[in-house]
Structure 1
């Protein structure tokens, strides 16, 4: 257990609460990477909540092996530095209703499956063999998709949440990884002595037209295969609840309800039960975890099959995210439709319940259908180049194209140099030859080129130092994109000057919001290195190649003591600036 002020859990269970619950500034963290300590952690969490605190966080699928029920889980390939269970301890959540918007950039460069179609086909065949032998009735077989990831995972979560409209969404930053859960499924809710669980089994795509959409909804609702899957899990959860619920209190309140989501229809059922006053939320979690909808039935034997077939750990995927309250109540989702961002990679789990009536093609298509919420949305940025044009001629065109090519390769964006040159030429043909213009070249799924006249400036321009630092590790500082929010925020802090000079967390100056920095000192021309956290400008690159300027880490004091200070970019080239108070 450690004290920490830098973690956040955001619970957005819209089906249960009108308001979002944001947990920040934990008074303690209860977490472990050791299986033998999982039950101890749950007891510690219970102690905190008994003393008036909230606990919010997650428990991974693999933690199920250590809850005292001898459930078979393949824990051998787990990264031993990853927590099995992680909860922040909080005084209380902040409650709010307003929607959040964030324009921080992010980019997913392309998803790859961990296993081939052939491996998937072989696994489904083995599941069918186990069903034929009577070892199981249904196996929830899953696999992982992975992709490089750049930028703000929180911004990505907000966009996915809005698109998916999932009723049990949650975001967790545990200090090392960020979890983006767009879950449509309730694991359990405890209110006093009443328990509610809402297993989800049965999926079909949405229709293109209103009529087709309604037909698909009815097809799912009446599907014998999907009803059979759903009933198996309903029975499993009834049995799990029956182990500790009051006799005769377990009830199936709703069966085969079909719910709409942007890309799929989902079938759910609702089960309720009553407990005695001594049954704690932690005991409920221990008894029900992991949820039967992501294992299959019967649970123990099916989890043994899963451990033999799946080659990687599920982690938080198929685990659960939620909170315990000091009143003894609790609410947790089933962490499906859930991604984990760790360093510069993102992982997303997909899968489904396999029964005797399942077809390999059908299950595979259903799994990919569930992935569409992430695979259909890759980025909120496009690449940008600002190219100077004077007398009908572009400046530094080859360097611009080289930088654009390198950035496109990094972000997985198609690059066609001939088309870019053609579009630039077409725009230049519209312009008068005697003035200076800036071409704005934007490259994403397509290319657009627009132009703007640039007025001349004679005297030195007033500038100021930024109010707060940038993070030098932000990958988007080194790539020129349409995500200008960070720069606009800094500029808006100083509306009465030409531009603002940025600095990083180490107090190293980096760049202006619209150009690079050059200082003149004792006859030397110096510019900060890219490692300080800045865009490697095209004109800066040319000056470095020609030996006119030299890279050097520069501080605020270096700038204050400089003989002269310049803002440089490829459109205006040299702009003499002066700092004002």
Structure 2
């Protein structure tokens, strides 16, 4: 049973910063921030979960079945992540590329302490703890002050050179022209070795310049995710399932006329639209595996949404599921998300593994939560920095969708555009 306490806060932005700073004392932390981005599907402006009462941590072998048992037995709030390499549990695939991060393939925890913020109200839920502790923690959060340190610049290296990147995209185009795939999301890693960072400071900078709807600060002991993701993977509201893949990117401009033109050009770009529509078809197929008959619908096709750094093309696909459908099965039958793989999905994942040089780890995976009544909400881990504090390895990856219309030089420039915010906060 959880003890509930509701509190009013004078300034939600200030309180969120204090809450995040206060959380760093705990071994397990997930901080989710919508940055008050206007969106149709949302329960909270911000959520913090800390301190594991129980947890599950595993590699990809039988991972979804283990999570299914854990979630069905807990029937409580669970927070955690699904790494991209859980594809190896879903299909007969392998991941043999270099892994400098060493994240577990799956991790979820049942938090002792949860804070749910909506407007100027915070609902506090503690597991098997007394009211006095909740009041004391609330006072400690309100009095928290952060000491700001000047972060040293990090020497970022590029795993795949530009020349090699162009050659790999040319190779992928050969696969497309041969008919093996229609589209694949090809990614490359930027990394730094022997570095020490302040993860909360880096996350705060990244979040402040991006202001995305699915920002995440995640900590599990020495493993950190600092994410400015604009993309939702999958959400469950009762019997309704919502997927919102992003495919299509355009640079933003300070000049309002140029910025509006960039949006119009994105709307009219046949290559970007075809990318998006291919993934919409893939998502429709994935959702149909658990949907009730005839319930899969495209709610919005190729909508344009503006963020601090870029304009994005986003589609919304929905379905209905039977109440008896296990919630983890809905994730398993749609994972990994189509926007980060390609079509056909299995062939694309095999080619991705062949041409990429780094194990994706949590990048291209998902972070989110299950509610006690079996609803869930998960983002797509993109525009994110991953950090292993123990081996002092830092990594971020970016990618783009390769179709038959792809121009390798332009794909490379799109990757650099997506990497801009990460470079900015690290340099």
- Is the CA contact (8 Å cut-off) linking 2:101 and 2:395 kept in structure 1? no
Does the aligned pair in 2 maintain the 1:104–1:151 contact within 8 Å? no
Q: Tell me by how many angstroms 1:91 deviates.
A: 4.7
Match 1:131 to one of 176, 182, 188: 176
Contact 1:205–1:263 under 8 Å retained in 2: yes
Question: What is the match of residue 384 of structure 2?
Answer: 338
What residue is the counterpart of 1:59 in the other structure? 82
- Which blocks of at least 5 consecutive residues in structure 2 are unaligned? 1-24, 121-141
CA distance in 1, matches of 2:405, 2:421: 27
In 2, Cα distance between the equivalents of 1:18 and 1:261?
Answer: 19
Distance in 2 separating the partners of 1:302 and 1:275: 27
Matched, 1:189 2:212: no
Q: 1: distance between equivalents of 2:26 and 2:62?
A: 23
Structure of greater relative contact order (alpha carbons < 8 Å, 6+ residues apart): 2
Residue 275 of structure 2 aligns to a residue whose secondary structure is: helix
Q: Aligned residue for 2:300?
A: 254
Q: CA deviation at 1:291?
A: 0.3
CA distance in 1, matches of 2:197, 2:60: 33
CA distance change for structure 1 residues 101 and 112 in 2, over 3 Å: closer, same or farther? farther
Deviation of residue 92 (structure 1)? 5.6
Answering whether residue 42 of structure 2 is matched by residue 19 of structure 1, we say: no
| More off after superposition, 10-19 vs 341-350 | 10-19
2:104 aligned partner: 83
Q: Is the 8 A contact 1:104 1:152 kept in 2?
A: no
* Equivalent position to 1:112, from 148, 151, 157: 157
Task: Provide the TM-score with structure 1 as the length reference.
Answer: 0.61
SS at match of 1:370: helix
Q: Give the superposition deviation at 1:355.
A: 0.7
Aligned-partner Cα distance in 2 for 1:279–1:12: 29
Matched with 2:410 is 362
Q: Residue 253 of structure 1 contacts residue 270 of structure 1 at CA under 8 Å; is this kept in 2?
A: yes
Instruction: Please give the alpha-carbon distance, in whole angstroms, between the structure 1 residues aligned to 2:145 and 2:358.
Output: 35
Match of 1:272 among 301, 315, 318: 318
Quickly say closer, same or farther: Cα 1:45–1:11, change in 2 above 3 A.
farther
2:69 to 38, 44, 47: 44
SS of the residue corresponding to residue 299 of structure 2 reads strand
In structure 2, distance between residues paired with 1:205 and 1:78: 31
Q: Deviations over 1:383-420 (max 9, x none)?
A: xxxxxxxxxxxxxxxxxxxxxxxxxxxxxxxxxxxxxx
1:82: Cα distance to partner?
Answer: 2.9
Contact 2:247–2:312 under 8 Å retained in 1: yes
Cα deviation digits, residues 524-571 of structure 1 (max 9, x gap):
xxxxxxxxxxxxxxxxxxxxxxxxxxxxxxxxxxxxxxxxxxxxxxxx
Tell me the equivalent position of 1:142: 187
Question: What's the CA shift string for 1:162-181, capped at 9, x where partnerless?
Answer: 21011011111011211011
8 Å contact kept, 2:245–2:280: yes
CA distance in 1, matches of 2:207, 2:145: 11
Query: For 1:123, what is the secondary structure of its paired residue?
Result: helix
Matched residue SS, 2:364 = coil
Distance in 2 (CA, whole Å) between partners of 1:110 and 1:48 is 46
Deviation, 1:76, is 5.3
Question: How far 1:81 sits from its partner (Å)?
Answer: 5.0
In 1, Cα distance between the equivalents of 2:145 and 2:345? 41
Q: Deviations over 1:462-487 (max 9, x none)?
A: xxxxxxxxxxxxxxxxxxxxxxxxxx
